[in-house]
Structure formats: structure tokens, C-alpha cells
Amino acid sequence: MPATAPVDNKAARTRRRIVDAAAGEFAENGYGGASLRRIATAAGLQLGSLYFHFKTKDELVIDVLAEGVESARAALKLAVGNVQADASPEDRLRAAIRGHLDALHASDDRASSVVRMVETLPPDLRRVHAEHERRFAQVWSDILKRGQADGVVRTDITLRILRDLVIGALNSTSTNNPAANKDLTAITDAVLVLLHPSPAARGSGPDRG
């Protein structure tokens, strides 16, 4: 039986450098302002070498978007999964919020590049990205639904709206504005307060929407 051809590790490493450099460029300049030449330079390549791995800018964008959302999704699930079994419901919710924030503010720019790009993507790329967004949003829906059942998440707002508000609020902290609040503990505490059941909602059951 013929031996399996070895994986081209050099090509894989080069592709990895390109995607990492692209995440930083897209996080800084968004979809429209990003430069493939700057990405190639940051990756230590000539522009022509970048095109060997990614034929178009949009092909590179698709990879960066997929990695960004999936890395954030994995970080969120890991943060919740690492909570001790006897932890309080509020501690589980706190871990989820902090896991989302930590992914956004990680040094590799994967998740923050998605936030920076997503609103300016052309329709065809938005459609490609939609499934990744749906998978990430579902993780938050499950977290909030459990929080409602445990009595630590308000039920007076439809679950889908509440989920989108939470994701939007957390994503907004990845702004490049140097004056923005980067105290992740303070942000986590503030979101917990916003999610806490209001007096009118404490007596109702979990939202089923």
C-alpha cells in the first residue's frame, strides 16, 4: 500500500500567517479599508505569494469570518464548560459573559475582526456568514434560557431580542476607540445587572420564544 503523502506543513504555516495577519488588518480597517498588500507584508510575503493561497480578497474574508466566529463560539462554550458543577447560576452566567469578552479582546484579533467587518460585508458574503452567526447565537440562546429557568435572567423581554441585545452590547466593546471602556470585569458586572430579572418578571416562568 503506498505511503500517504505528507501534509505540506510549510504551505499550512504560510496560510496560517496570512489568516492571522488578515484578522489584524480587518480588525483595524474593516472590510472596505483592508489592504491585501498590507496583509501580505504583515505575513512576511510578497503580494503574489498571498494570491497563491487566496485567489481573491473575499476568499480570505470567508476564512477569517469562519475562524473568528468559531473561535468565539468555542471560547464561550469552554468558559461555561469550565464552571464548577456546584457553581451558582449567576457564576455560570458571569463565565459566559466573560468568555465572550475574552474572545473579543484576545490578541489574535480573530473575533474582533468579525465585529469590525460584518456590517459592511456585501450581500453574498453576508449570506455565507449567516450560518456561523446562527450557530454562535444559538449558544447564547441556550445560556440565557437556562438562566431564565434558574431565575437569574429576566423574562420580560423576548428571548431572541434579549440574546441579540447581549451579543450586540458585548461586541460593541471591541471598538478601536482608545477612550472606550476596556475594564472587562466592570462590563461583565454591568451586563449581569441588565440581565437580572426585574421585579415584574420574577414571578413568571422562563421565556419559551
Decide if 1 is inside a domain: no
* Grid cell for residue 177: 476607540
Please check the confidence at residue 156 and state whether its pLDDT lies above 50.
yes
Residue 191 lies in a domain: yes
Nine-digit cell string for 209? 420564544
Q: Which domain holds residue 63?
A: 9-195
pLDDT at 132 over 50: yes
Domain count, the chain: 1
**Residues 170-208: tens digit of each pLDDT:** 998 886 555 565 789 999 999 999 999 966 444 444 454
Give the tens place of pLDDT for each residue, 56-111: 999 999 999 999 999 899 999 999 999 998 999 999 999 999 999 998 888 778 88
CA 127 remoteness from chain centre: 17
Do residues 24 and 68 lie in contact, with contact meaning Cβ atoms separated by under 8 Å?
no
Q: Is 203 domain-assigned?
A: no
Longest CA–CA span in the chain (Å) reads: 71
Average pLDDT value over all residues in the chain: 87
Answer whether residue 207 is part of any domain.
no
Q: What is the pLDDT of residue 107?
A: 76
Distance CA 180, CA 209 (A): 33
Q: What is the pLDDT of residue 182?
A: 76
pLDDT computed for residue 97 by the predictor: 97
Lowest mean pLDDT among 2-6, 14-18, 73-77, 87-91: 2-6
Task: Let me know if residue 126 belongs to a domain.
Answer: yes
Question: Would you say 132 and 110 are in contact if contact means Cβ atoms under 8 Å apart?
Answer: no
Q: What share of the chain is helix, strand, coil (3-state, %, to 5)?
A: 70, 0, 30
Cβ(42)–Cβ(21) below 8 Å = yes
CATH classification of the domain holding 183: 1.10.357.10
Confidence grade of residue 165 (pLDDT, cut at 50, 70, 90)? very high
Percent of the chain with pLDDT over 90: 70
- Does residue 41 sit within a domain? yes
For residue 199, what are the CA distances in angstroms to 152, 156, 202, 204?
12, 10, 5, 10
Assigned domain for 204 exists: no
Residue 78, in any domain of the structure: yes
| Rounded mean pLDDT, 129-145 | 94
